[in-house]
Structure 1
């Protein structure tokens, strides 16, 4: 059995987050010691790991709670759980595409600056100079 402090360290979460997740019901059948302190076994650790991963994927605590509740229902909820995962995957893929576009933009910007530094092109990045140089402000 692990304490909140031990679990937080092992899972790289704050103690506050561990307590918050348990208070929100993300760890079914949470155990407590004789002093009513939370204690964690391997099963409760798995629930916390799952919650942490789902949170990183973009699920809200409320959506994770719904997922946990559905898991507790068993096989009858597989389709609903699948739909949650599918929706989360679609959102993650959209974020990935947005990140790809940002990397493409900043890579082009870096190349542009490299060309200026290497005197391949003049410096046209200063907005204060755009008007007098007839540059439409695309850089």
Structure 2
């Protein structure tokens, strides 16, 4: 099963990069975690996202499109980074997330979402 593991943004992550000493330590810990994921054959992809101030949204209303410049409200509803993993089931994904270093300076949240597979779409 493939899952997307979403690191939720925080007010701090929306301000940009944290202090260098904290960032260096977190990146080293995250590098070791990603190495473990690779060695286990789980990691497909991993990336961090810039703050939403550098992003855009496109709103759809029938044939009309409206471009909305960031930053976007409600940082905890935004994504700061993600992994794409290939795991045997949701329990394995949860076990790996429990091992993950905290990706933020304070409280944070990681969401795990399965990707649709052929069986979900009625295609076998």
Greater relative contact order (Cα < 8 A, sep 6+)? 2
- Structure showing greater radius of gyration is 1
Structure with the bigger percentage of strand: 2
TM range (shorter): under 0.3
Structure with the bigger percentage of helix: 1
- TM-score of the aligned structures, taking structure 1 as reference length: 0.20
- TM-score of the aligned structures, taking structure 2 as reference length: 0.22
